[in-house]
Chain A
Amino acid sequence: MTTELRKVAVLGGNRIPFARSNSAYAAASNQDMLTAALDGLVSRFALEGERLGEVVAGAVLKHSRDFNLTRETVMSTRLDAATPAYDIQQACGTGLQAALLVANKIALGQIDCGVAGGVDTTSDAPLAVGDDLRKLLIKLNNARSTGDRLKVLAGVRPGMIVPAIPRNEEPRTGLSMGEHQARTGARWGVTRAEQDELTARSHHNLAAAYERGFQADLVTPFLGLERDQNLRPDSSVEKLAKLKPVFGGPQGTMTAGNSTPLSDGAAAVLLASEEWAQERGLPVLAHLVTGETAAVDYVGGDEGLLMAPAYAVPRMLDRLGLTLQDFDIYEIHEAFASQVLSTLKAWEDAVFCQERLGRSAPLGAIDRSRLNVNGSSLAAGHPFAATGGRIVAAAAKELYERGGGRALISICAAGGQGVVAILESNGSN
């Protein structure tokens, strides 16, 4: 049995403003935030009591009690409790990968509509007991007699009380993501000035998006926050130039300004078949055309941790017979300004494209005025799993408002992975 593939429509999204770590959302859990984002989406698209095909979401930092986070969240919303849900996790690629999973089921006709999302908190972080104490507690649980229990408890040492704090570092290298990117940036000769320039532009673009009301139907206020807390509308290259480097040593070029801060937030995006949208009179902002995921060997191999999108995009372009220049807007997630710039340099570089991608010519440069036109993570912040939903919804809306066009989405992720996708829109036609 063969199935005609259906087009997958992006109908819109909703997120809560992103907060800086340990501030506005310090007391909110992942489930609280994801519920807020989903409920906002439900209100916006009148989905109260609807049974959706599925809700797929995830979080990078998760408590053990959150093993079924998305399903639990769905049951806290006004969606029909008969809406199935599951969690996924692919580091910062979680949100976009969730959208691809939902989209694939819609395309195959397995479901008609679904929500993809993500949430993360770095404030309500899941502290765990250390491994020694954990093993001891399991032993205690298994002990049968009081004597045995006392024997086990006698083994408790003060050092065991120190909790295991989740760290933003790669398990296989012990290096933080920032240190990894500092190396990649140095390898591509990325300067401080170009990073600060990209950062300032991200803030200005996001501020302008809020000013012109672009975010009005993308963001729902939460816990007193109406805009992303990290946004600095008056950011400038001069101000950014004053910050001290935080990665790459004293000579480093990466600062707290041109790197994304730890942040809290949640985002969700509504996907559906065209028929489903039509039945409800919902305009199709854009179609999610395809996606691609790549991974690089940043441990034993000779590639940067966050360079996987540089491989994923050309593979996807080749599949569709497109060139890098065939896009009206480019959404390249700004984990670090340096990551965006390294990726762009790689695509322009004959050596990278020939030696690493096996192409006869470089992919070439992009028109920088089309890059992250409504700002990106440097300005908005980056609650890891929430970023994909933020980008898909905003890019779809931007294309729709422009009367159509094509968008490239690129998101780098821990573990040397990268998730990329293409949106196309006919505008309001």
Chain B
Amino acid sequence: MPDTYTSLANSPIGKLITGQLGLPRPTILERYSPGDATISGQVLLGAAPGGRLAPAAATVLAGLSANVSTALRGDLRKAAADAGLDAAVFNGEVPGDARFKALVFDATGITDSTQLRELHAFFHPVVRRTQSCSRVVVLGTAPEDTGSPREAAAQRALEGFTRSLGKEIGQGGTVQLVYVAPGAEAFLGSTLRFLLSARSAYVSGQVVRINQGAATPPVVDVHRPLEGKVALVTGASRGIGAAIASVLARDGAHVVGLDIPPLAEDLEAVTSALGGSFLTADITTDDAPQSIALHLQEAHGGVDIVVHNAGITQDRTLARMKPERWERVLDINLSSEERINDELLSSGVLNTGARIVCVSSIAGIAGNNGQTNYGTSKAGVAGMVVAMAPVLAKQQVTINAVAPGFIETQMTAAVPIAIREAGRRMNSMSQGGLPVDVAEAIAWFAAPDSGGLNGNVVRVCGQSLLGA
């Protein structure tokens, strides 16, 4: 649900007032409902000459039954035809009344900074032809995977382009950069599906890296990609955790909700409504990892998705912070996750192809006044994800994190109004995100065909100015 100002600003009278006074009018973001098409409008697919990802992108778009347009250029038309796309033709010189819901540009053909003009050539004629809540995805080669310093520089330059365009595009549009490693083309599917859909409503200005996963990505039902999967969600009784449980269940997973015993009632209410099950435990205790592992093994024969969502804040400036506050935040937010991961791994409870998804925070990236403990823990989560990724890859397990920005929860509702409004508006969407936005990003990482995503930390922050 949009915040009060956003609702007001979008009411008939509010539109009049905001228009007259030049006040911002945040777009009411489109969000995914079960059964929705992944993309509700035309997708323009383009590529810098010599790129390698147009065929893969066309294949993904064909799989999504998207309506696609391309320029009348041999390489693009062949890519579309080979993917079975009856793609329309778009010529920027005679655009007619063409409008696009999404723009996908393969920039991997750019191997020198002078070729960056291809970005301008593709986007300039169409950037004002996008519909509201449009999606822009630029595909590139990660600088570390390039063949020359010039190519590396040019590919790194894409980041500045996408982040700037993210701030320009407006009307709830999002802009992302996806680096796809050579050989990882087949792993593009889940990411493009997420980034082009309303599921990524509050994700913008992000850089995602796709590498070759352990196994060929399976074909999933885009409406129930998690069918048959068992998902553990910690801190599931309320807020973002409850939203995560709900989205994972919606996508087909059996959710095992976990929370502390005092919240058992809330937890049961959440999970039973989702047809899931629950488990109460204090994750800071020494035997918690074992008992969780045992439960998952006995009740479900293992676990496919682990979402480390449980977290707390105990804010004080460092000078006034007692050691207990430090310890408790670090233990719940970081150390317990490490212990649980280690136990699940060593006990063999993590199924092959399992997905671990952690919840970091913008505070761990940008830092926050009064949150040295929290910021430390959440930056640690990001560090854990990056460090564990190669270790887990050996067991065909992936680990990634989402880093929420300003999300409308009970926690942020308690923030003083001035700070709250600043947090809410200082992003490209001029509004806070919703718990479901975080949950959707987690479901993306959790998908069976997301094997190419490992060690990513993606913010769900509406492209917040903080830490950007």
Interface residues of chain A, those whose CB is within 8 Å of chain B, are 185-192, 248, 251, 253, 345, 348-351, 353-356, 362
Q: How far apart sit A350 and B86, CA to CA, in the bound complex (Å)?
A: 10
Given contacts A350-B82, A354-B81, A362-B77, 11 further A-B contacts (CB under 8 A): A185-B94, A189-B71, A189-B93, A190-B91, A345-B89, A348-B72, A350-B77, A350-B78, A351-B85, A351-B87, A355-B81
Q: How far apart sit A353 and B96, CA to CA, in the bound complex (Å)?
A: 24
Who on chain A is nearest to B70 by CB?
A351
In the complex, chain A residues whose CB is within 8 Å of the CB of B80: 350-351
Is B74's beta carbon under 8 Å from chain A? yes
A298–chain B nearest beta-carbon distance, Å: 16
Who on chain B is nearest to A345 by CB?
B72
Are A355's CB and B72's CB within 8 A? no
Are B96's CB and A251's CB within 8 A? yes
Q: How far apart sit A353 and B86, CA to CA, in the bound complex (Å)?
A: 10
Q: Contact mask B83-101 → A, CB, 8 Å, 1/0?
A: 0111111110110100000
A/B interface sample: 23 pairs, CB < 8 A: A187-B88, A187-B89, A188-B72, A188-B89, A189-B71, A189-B89, A189-B91, A191-B91, A191-B93, A192-B94, A251-B96, A253-B94, A345-B72, A348-B72, A350-B74, A350-B78, A350-B81, A351-B70, A351-B81, A351-B87, A353-B81, A354-B82, A355-B81
Q: How far apart sit A189 and B94, CA to CA, in the bound complex (Å)?
A: 6
B81–chain A nearest beta-carbon distance, Å: 4
Q: How far apart sit A307 and B74, CA to CA, in the bound complex (Å)?
A: 21
In the complex, chain B residues whose CB is within 8 Å of the CB of A345: 72, 89
Q: Number of B interface residues, CB 8 Å?
A: 20
In the complex, chain A residues whose CB is within 8 Å of the CB of B82: 350, 354
Q: How far apart sit A354 and B84, CA to CA, in the bound complex (Å)?
A: 8
A230–chain B nearest beta-carbon distance, Å: 26
Q: Which of B71, B81, B90 has the most CB of A within 10 A?
A: B81
In the complex, chain A residues whose CB is within 8 Å of the CB of B72: 188-189, 345, 348-349
Q: How far apart sit A253 and B70, CA to CA, in the bound complex (Å)?
A: 20
In the complex, chain B residues whose CB is within 8 Å of the CB of A248: 96
In the complex, chain B residues whose CB is within 8 Å of the CB of A192: 94
Give the residue of B84, B89, B94 whose beta carbon is less than 8 angstroms from that of A349.
B89
A246–chain B nearest beta-carbon distance, Å: 16
B112–chain A nearest beta-carbon distance, Å: 28
Q: How far apart sit A351 and B89, CA to CA, in the bound complex (Å)?
A: 10
In the complex, chain A residues whose CB is within 8 Å of the CB of B96: 186, 248, 251
Are A186's CB and B94's CB within 8 A? yes
Q: How far apart sit A362 and B85, CA to CA, in the bound complex (Å)?
A: 15
Are A351's CB and B86's CB within 8 A? yes
Secondary structure of the B side of the interface?
loop
Q: How far apart sit A191 and B86, CA to CA, in the bound complex (Å)?
A: 22
Q: Contact mask B58-75 → A, CB, 8 Å, 1/0?
A: 000000000000111010
B48–chain A nearest beta-carbon distance, Å: 19
In the complex, chain B residues whose CB is within 8 Å of the CB of A187: 88-89
A-B pairs, top 5 by smallest CB distance, nearest first, are A189-B91, A354-B81, A350-B81, A350-B77, A355-B86
Q: How far apart sit A253 and B90, CA to CA, in the bound complex (Å)?
A: 15
In the complex, chain A residues whose CB is within 8 Å of the CB of B84: 355
Q: How far apart sit A190 and B94, CA to CA, in the bound complex (Å)?
A: 7
B46–chain A nearest beta-carbon distance, Å: 13
B257–chain A nearest beta-carbon distance, Å: 47
In the complex, chain B residues whose CB is within 8 Å of the CB of A253: 94
Q: How far apart sit A304 and B77, CA to CA, in the bound complex (Å)?
A: 19
Q: How far apart sit A351 and B74, CA to CA, in the bound complex (Å)?
A: 10
Q: How far apart sit A414 and B74, CA to CA, in the bound complex (Å)?
A: 31
In the complex, chain A residues whose CB is within 8 Å of the CB of B89: 187-189, 345, 349
In the complex, chain B residues whose CB is within 8 Å of the CB of A185: 94
In the complex, chain A residues whose CB is within 8 Å of the CB of B88: 187
Q: How far apart sit A120 and B69, CA to CA, in the bound complex (Å)?
A: 40
From 292 to 330 in chain B, residues with beta carbon under 8 angstroms from any chain A beta carbon are none
Give the residue of B71, B78, B85, B94 whose beta carbon is less than 8 angstroms from that of A191.
B94
In the complex, chain A residues whose CB is within 8 Å of the CB of B93: 189, 191
Q: How far apart sit A148 and B94, CA to CA, in the bound complex (Å)?
A: 62
Q: How far apart sit A253 and B94, CA to CA, in the bound complex (Å)?
A: 8
Q: How far apart sit A353 and B81, CA to CA, in the bound complex (Å)?
A: 8
Are B81's CB and A356's CB within 8 A? no
In the complex, chain A residues whose CB is within 8 Å of the CB of B70: 351
Q: How far apart sit A354 and B86, CA to CA, in the bound complex (Å)?
A: 9
A260–chain B nearest beta-carbon distance, Å: 21
In the complex, chain A residues whose CB is within 8 Å of the CB of B86: 351, 355-356
In the complex, chain B residues whose CB is within 8 Å of the CB of A351: 70, 77, 80-81, 85-87
Q: How far apart sit A350 and B58, CA to CA, in the bound complex (Å)?
A: 13
Who on chain A is nearest to B90 by CB?
A189
Q: How far apart sit A253 and B93, CA to CA, in the bound complex (Å)?
A: 11
In the complex, chain A residues whose CB is within 8 Å of the CB of B85: 351, 355
A182–chain B nearest beta-carbon distance, Å: 9
Q: How far apart sit A355 and B79, CA to CA, in the bound complex (Å)?
A: 12
Q: How far apart sit A189 and B72, CA to CA, in the bound complex (Å)?
A: 8
Q: How far apart sit A147 and B74, CA to CA, in the bound complex (Å)?
A: 76
Q: Which of A253, A351, A356 has the most CB of B within 10 A?
A: A351
Q: How far apart sit A186 and B85, CA to CA, in the bound complex (Å)?
A: 19
Q: How far apart sit A186 and B89, CA to CA, in the bound complex (Å)?
A: 9
Q: How far apart sit A380 and B421, CA to CA, in the bound complex (Å)?
A: 70
In the complex, chain A residues whose CB is within 8 Å of the CB of B90: 189
Who on chain A is nearest to B86 by CB?
A355
Q: How far apart sit A189 and B71, CA to CA, in the bound complex (Å)?
A: 8
Q: How far apart sit A103 and B90, CA to CA, in the bound complex (Å)?
A: 42
In the complex, chain B residues whose CB is within 8 Å of the CB of A348: 72
Q: How far apart sit A230 and B77, CA to CA, in the bound complex (Å)?
A: 38
